[in-house]
Amino acid sequence: MGDDLRSLGRDGDLRAIRAMLSAMRDVPAVVDELERQDATTRAVAFRSLPKDLAVAVFEDFDPSLQSDLITELREDAGDLILALDPDDRAGVLGELPASVVRRLLTGLDPDERAKTTALLGYPPGSVGRRMTPNVVTLPAGLSVGQALERVRALEPGAETIYTLAVVDPTRHLLGVVSLRRLMITSPTTDLSEITREPIQVSATDGQEEASRVVRDHGAVAVPVVDDENRMLGLFTVDDAMRVLEHEESEDIARTGGAEPLSKPYLATSVFGLVRSRIMWLLILVVAAMLTVNVLDYFEDTLTEVVSLALFVPFLIGTGGNAGAQAATTVVRAMAVGDAQLRDLGRVVGKEVVTGMLLGIGLGCVGFVAASIIVGTSVATVVALALVIVCTLATTAGSLTPMLARSAGVDPAVVSAPFITTFVDASGLIVYFLIARAVLGV
């Protein structure tokens, strides 16, 4: 179907595109289909959508694609921007050049403009950017019945009404009450009796951190406050889920030694893919030159016992795999909060022992295999080297991401590929030193 749509887009047959897209079951299906297209087809197809569907689809797009579309749809962009909630709007505007942002903001009414610029005032990546300011707050002192009246009156302008913030006259957050609780309580009860202490986040908190709070508490939404505990908005579970998905994609890309893509895969050009990877590859290539120098240094040993060379890729490949296992496990444990900086000693201790045990197991296998091919003396060198290389690999694999975190660097960035490169170079040194000792060359 993707290819059909692309050829329809090229032919500009708007009626056929509109028919095809409107036959799709629901908004996510249309979003999915459009995200698979190149930029031109996407714009053509998007223009052909009925107005209501277009707004709903636009809301669900990845922010990078939203800003692409706004650039494409110059004249119609104002309507789309107007249709978004303030938090989503801030997300799109954050990706656009300042001149375009100014033009678009001018098209908003003063109230919407104020809300949007307020959100844009928070640092990128903070909850402030992702919260919704369209919430229902309840002044303390109301009865449950009065509170329900207020919820009904303010509902049309609110993004969610399932979590209600109770505030004092200067908007300081006193607590929260769920719509559920409000519903089942007698209308004459005082609101304060069912108000509970809030789980809250600060507007300058990171989005990932706040999303984990939402998930760990199974919350539908959490209040966002400023430094003085004044209620600013709500951070909702649907936004939290998106943030977590985005962060996971970022971690996974970095685990593979690449920068995260800014757009969905199929919407990314070949040059976008090259750009996301070339920098890390170049850094790794420079690091890999270390292995050339190590081998150059041991060239005499190598010339004397050429069969040592046979096991070089085997040895460093296995070390790299053991290191990658340790690194991905530890990076993940830190990401989900299972391991923290204060656990450094326990984590590295576990990994040293694990690496040693794995090395002994693999060393036995390696010894048998190498004995058959090159005899027991080189096989002894290979087996001993495997034990040390595996231990080195799991140690580096656990230590590096934890040290990165303590230095404020994303642990995923320095994981597998970096550790592999380090293990390659140090593993070769170990291998040749053992070879010299055992073989007496």
> How far out from the chain centre does Cα 262 lie?
11
Write out the H or E segment, with its range, that includes residue 235: strand 231-236
Residue of 18, 215, 230, 436 interacting with a copy of itself (CB under 8 A): 215
> How far out from the chain centre does Cα 198 lie?
27
Cα–Cα distance list, 44 to 34, 248, 274, 285 (Å):
10, 31, 27, 42
In 3D space, the residue among 354, 355, 441 whose CA is nearest the CA of residue 392 turns out to be 355
How far apart (Å, rounded) are the C-alpha atoms in residues 64 and 262? 7
String of contacts with a copy of itself for each residue 95-134, x by CB under 8 A: ----------------------------------------
For a copy of itself (CB under 8 A), the number of binding residues is: 117
Site for a copy of itself in 378-437 (CB under 8 A): 416-417, 420-421, 424, 428
Q: Does 187 bind a copy of itself (CB under 8 A)?
A: no
How far apart (Å, rounded) are the C-alpha atoms in residues 369 and 378? 11
CB of 172 to a copy of itself, least distance (A): 20
Q: What proportions of the chain, in percent to the nearest 5, are helix, strand and coil? A: 70, 10, 20
Nearer to a copy of itself, 293 or 409 (CB): 293
Q: Does 306 bind a copy of itself (CB under 8 A)?
A: yes
CB of 2 to a copy of itself, least distance (A): 7
In 3D space, the residue among 271, 274, 270, 267 whose CA is nearest the CA of residue 39 turns out to be 267
Options 78-86, 101-109, 226-234, 341-349: segment touching a copy of itself (CB under 8 A): 341-349
CB atoms within 10 A of CB 82: 14
Options 43-51, 126-134, 322-330, 432-440: segment touching a copy of itself (CB under 8 A): 322-330
Q: What angle do CA 182, 186, 190 make, to 5 degrees?
A: 75
Nearer to a copy of itself, 128 or 319 (CB): 319
Q: Does 245 bind a copy of itself (CB under 8 A)?
A: yes
In 3D space, the residue among 406, 426, 402 whose CA is nearest the CA of residue 415 turns out to be 402
How far apart (Å, rounded) are the C-alpha atoms in residues 405 and 398? 11
Nearer to a copy of itself, 108 or 174 (CB): 174
Residue of 217, 341, 375, 437 interacting with a copy of itself (CB under 8 A): 217
How far apart (Å, rounded) are the C-alpha atoms in residues 48 and 113? 29
Nearer to a copy of itself, 108 or 390 (CB): 390
Options 95-103, 146-154, 187-195, 223-231: segment touching a copy of itself (CB under 8 A): 146-154
Site for a copy of itself in 276-305 (CB under 8 A): 276-278, 280-282, 284-285, 288-289, 291-292, 295-296, 299, 302-303
Q: Does 63 bind a copy of itself (CB under 8 A)?
A: no
